Structures are given as C-alpha cells and as structure tokens.
Structure 1
Amino acid sequence: MRSVGRPKVWVPAAALVAALFGPAAVQAQADPGQLPVLDIAPSVLNYAQDASVREGLQQAFAAAPVRRGARAPARASLAYDSTPALRGQALLAFAARAPDAASAEAVRTAFAHNDYDKAYRGLIASYGLAADDVADAMTAYLVLGWLIVNRADDPHPGSVQAARDQIAETLADDPRYADVKARGPAGEEFKLLFVATHAGWNSARKDGTLPAYEAGIARNLAMSGFDMKTLDLTGAGFTARR
C-alpha cells in the first residue's frame, strides 16, 4: 500500500511471515496467498449476514455522520477466551469451508506450523484492535475489504476504532453474541479470513491478478450486504458515500 505517514496495519505478507516466524518460514510454509480465500469468504461472512446484524450494520453505516468525539465511545465488550483449543477448532472449521478436499488440505497445511493468531496480532497492533473480541475481528476484515475494493490508503487508527464502535453496537444487540461461546468461533474464523485475505491480496499484486482479486472481494462483500464502493471510512466510521 502507499505510505501516508501512519503505521501500517496491513504490511506485505512475506515481510510479516519473516518477522513473525523467521526468514526460513517464507520458503518453508505453504503460501497463504494461494489459498481459495474467495471461495471460503462467503460462508464465513454468514456470521455477519444474519438479517438483524446485516440490517443493523447497514443502518449504522447509512446514518448521518456523527463526530466520534461528540458521543461516548461504544466499547461494548464482545470478548471471548481465545484458547489454543478454540483456535484449532476454528482452523478445522475454516478449512472445511474450502470448495474441495485438496483446497481444505492446503488451508490446513498453510496454517499448521504458523500461528495465525500471532500473525493477526502483528497486523492489527497499531490500530488498537483486540485479538479476542468478535467485533474487533469483524472490523479488521471489513476494513481490509474496504481498502482492497477502494484501493485506499491506510486508514487512520481513529477511523478503524469508530468502525469498531459501529459494529460492536450492532453485535451487542444480537442475542447470539450475548453468549460468549458463540463469539469465539466467529471471531477466530474472521481472524483466519483476515490473514488469508491479506496474503491473497499481496500475491495478487505480485502475479498481476489484482483486478480480479479486488472484484472477487467486492462481489463477496456485496452479496453479504456490504457494498464497499458506496461507503467511506472516516472519523465517524463507515458512512454512506455522498
């Protein structure tokens, strides 16, 4: 991405792998950028596609912009306990969403020896998002999708936090997410989707398939009710483009 003088939450995938897992891991691991992320994403997005959640988010994003400083921060807790067991279960569930057995095995191989949770934490570190909160994980993916679709510069951390407030307010009103046990699987799969999507984005830029990748991300999000070409990301969070 282009530098705009702010910390980068989404750094090149190869550099991230080298920083977090050591230089040898870049060559040793299966390339997460070659995973069938465009095929997997729609079913993970089902966590945000429930009618009440989708409509709540659409209403929040379409509302007239409100300066974040003019209202109390909405730090609704949607935390859960991100344990190794939960992360292992989430990886199996994520791989099972692949379109065929070979693709599922590729997902398991890509993440078998690399800690996706550690990678996720490294990517979001500068933006104040938590690694054990379903609203934060959903925010990370939706902001990344918005960046990809709009070919945007890195967002200001305050804009990311404002988007997180919008998403947390909506999820906090959904009875499913009142149950801490329901938060974990959704949060961990969004973290996996975020890491794999970022890696795929980097690979698409390298191999000349970026337009198709951008179109695929845009299509998946639009099918789930998030038309990122109609939204801006501002200090008020996601707002309808005017």
Structure 2
Amino acid sequence: MKRSPLALLLLLLACTAHAQYDAGATVGMGQGMVLNNAVIGSNVMGDVILKQGQAAHRGGASSQGGAANLAALQFQPSADVSRSVLDRIARQFGGRQPDSYRQALLREGLLAKFDALLQQYGYDSHNVADAFTAYLVLSWEVVNNGSIGQNRAGIDAVRRNMQQALARNPRFVAMPDAQKQEMAETFGYLAMIASSTRSALQRKGDQMSLARLQEGVNGTAQKMGVDLREVRLTPQGFVAL
C-alpha cells in the first residue's frame, strides 16, 4: 500500500530523528547557528529564564534596547536561505535517505505549519524572538511531557523576555538578515520535528525512543544555555526550579 506524505514523514521522523537530534550537530548547522553559542548563550538565557522570585519583564524592550533594536528582530526572508536550511536539515535528520526526507518535509510543509502555529498566537515566523520562543516552549513540552495549551500568559511572558534579551544583544542586532533567517527557520524545523516525532512515538507507545528523543532535544537546549528539565513554565515565563 502506498504511504501518504504524512505517513512517510512520520516514519522517517520516528526512525531517525530521535537518534539524529544531536546537540552538537544541530546547534552547529549553518553560520547563523554557529554564532548562537555567543549570541544566544548564557547572557540571553539569563534574561529569558527567571530565578525564583524574579519579576517578569513588562512591555517591549527597555530603553537600553529601544524600538530600533526591536525592529532588528525582524528579517526579510530569502528563498535561497530557505533552501539552504532545508538541505542542512535533510542531511542532519535524513540518515541514509536525505533526499527522501527533504521531499517529505517539503510535501508536509513543516515551515508553513510552524508559521501557521505562530500566527495563532499573533506571532511572526519572520521574527527571531518569536521563532526562538516557539522553539523553547515546544521543546520544553517535549522534554517534560508537558502541555502548553492552557498557558498563553506564560508563553507571552517568555516572548517578552526573549525580545528584551535579543534586542539588547549587539552581536545579534548586527547580524545580517540571512543569518537571522537561518536561525529562525532552523528553530522552526527543530521545534516541529521534535513535536511531530513525540506525537508519533506516543501513538506507537515507544517509550524507549521517546526517552532518547527527549534527551536529544534537551541536549540541544543545553548547548544554548538552558536545561529544560530544570525550568517550569509559569504565567511569568520560564522559572528555574
């Protein structure tokens, strides 16, 4: 029987993603992601992950960041950059079938689904802070077997904290649009692959593979400066345990 595009994608995800979701490899994809250790490392995460009793940020960027730097969170997308990111994702997660994996991703339209998901929250996939927020929240959900559906206030708080953290970071603000797009779209793929794979493995009842997926997703987040098992999502945003 011929498999549907969705069935093929989920098969590829379930068979390879939990093994390929490797922290060092995924964080290192592309020049934009190579910069991440410096750009979105402990300094940014220190603003995004609150300590116990720390007040959440309110409103937009502070005067130190300013409206001009908030505008720097946006980028103009390029089809060439999108193709480059897709190629890297296919090579990373596709195992011995990168071409099949690439075609499955295209048919399933994961980036379009990521964009639609963000739009439901009034977010923009062409905004790095919004894409990074979605990546962190969805990854937290995967790692902790949690549910974010009833915590809109917490998601919005993470977004505000992320906006401030990136807008105050001069290295991020100075990045060209191509690198910002590479970051945002990589976050989109990583988030959707992790979330889709989790759903597929839960339906199969494959707890061993699910545990490996969770370790891989958390390992990638740790490379960016946060252990998702050590934070909880509250109405004030992510708070360290």
Interval of TM-score (by shorter of Structure 1 and Structure 2): 0.7 to 0.9
TM-score (norm 2): 0.75
User: For residues 124 and 198 of structure 1, what CA distance do their matches in structure 2 show?
Assistant: 14
Residue 122 of structure 1 corresponds to which residue in structure 2?
116
Residue 171 of structure 2 corresponds to which residue in structure 1?
175
Structure 1 residue 219, shift from structure 2 partner? 3.2
Relative to structure 1, the CA distance from residue 149 to residue 30 in structure 2 (aligned partners, 3 Å threshold; closer, same or farther) is: closer
Relative to structure 1, the CA distance from residue 177 to residue 91 in structure 2 (aligned partners, 3 Å threshold; closer, same or farther) is: farther
Matched, 1:45 2:27: yes
User: For residues 126 and 82 of structure 2, what CA distance do their matches in structure 1 show?
Assistant: 11
1:187-241 deviation line (CA, Å, top 9, x unaligned): 1111111121111111110222333332332333234421112112122221212
SS at match of 1:148: helix
- Residue type at the aligned position of 1:44: T
Matched, 1:239 2:239: yes
1:38-80 deviation line (CA, Å, top 9, x unaligned): 4245233343741452111332114443245xx3233823111
Matched, 1:163 2:163: no
Question: For structure 1, which runs of at least 5 residues remain unmatched after alignment?
Answer: 1-23
1:11-38 deviation line (CA, Å, top 9, x unaligned): xxxxxxxxxxxxx6435x5335336334
Relative to structure 1, the CA distance from residue 187 to residue 41 in structure 2 (aligned partners, 3 Å threshold; closer, same or farther) is: farther
Structure 1 residue 148, shift from structure 2 partner? 1.7
Residue 152 of structure 1 corresponds to which residue in structure 2?
146
Residue 195 of structure 1 corresponds to which residue in structure 2?
192
Matched, 1:225 2:225: yes
User: For residues 97 and 224 of structure 2, what CA distance do their matches in structure 1 show?
Assistant: 23
Q: How many residues align?
A: 215
Identify the range of structure 1 (32-41 vs 89-98) with the bigger mean alpha-carbon deviation. 32-41
SS at match of 1:190: helix
Structure 1 residue 130, shift from structure 2 partner? 1.0
Residue 56 of structure 1 corresponds to which residue in structure 2?
43
User: For residues 220 and 5 of structure 2, what CA distance do their matches in structure 1 show?
Assistant: 30
Relative to structure 1, the CA distance from residue 163 to residue 119 in structure 2 (aligned partners, 3 Å threshold; closer, same or farther) is: same
Relative to structure 1, the CA distance from residue 54 to residue 125 in structure 2 (aligned partners, 3 Å threshold; closer, same or farther) is: same
Relative to structure 1, the CA distance from residue 103 to residue 237 in structure 2 (aligned partners, 3 Å threshold; closer, same or farther) is: farther
Residue 8 of structure 1 corresponds to which residue in structure 2?
none
SS at match of 1:218: helix
Q: Is contact 2:22–2:216 with CA below 8 Å preserved after alignment?
A: no
SS at match of 1:50: helix
Relative to structure 1, the CA distance from residue 174 to residue 92 in structure 2 (aligned partners, 3 Å threshold; closer, same or farther) is: farther
User: For residues 39 and 102 of structure 2, what CA distance do their matches in structure 1 show?
Assistant: 32
Q: Is contact 2:143–2:228 with CA below 8 Å preserved after alignment?
A: yes
User: For residues 98 and 152 of structure 1, what CA distance do their matches in structure 2 show?
Assistant: 24
Q: Is contact 2:94–2:100 with CA below 8 Å preserved after alignment?
A: no
1:163-182 deviation line (CA, Å, top 9, x unaligned): 12222222221414433232
Q: Is contact 1:177–1:183 with CA below 8 Å preserved after alignment?
A: no
Q: How does 1:131-146 map to 2 (within 5 A)?
A: 131-146=125-140
Query: What is the identity percentage for the equivalent residue pairs of Structure 1 and Structure 2?
Result: 19
What RMSD, in angstroms, separates the aligned Cα atoms of the two structures?
Answer: 2.8
User: For residues 205 and 170 of structure 1, what CA distance do their matches in structure 2 show?
Assistant: 35
Residue 3 of structure 1 corresponds to which residue in structure 2?
none
SS at match of 1:233: strand
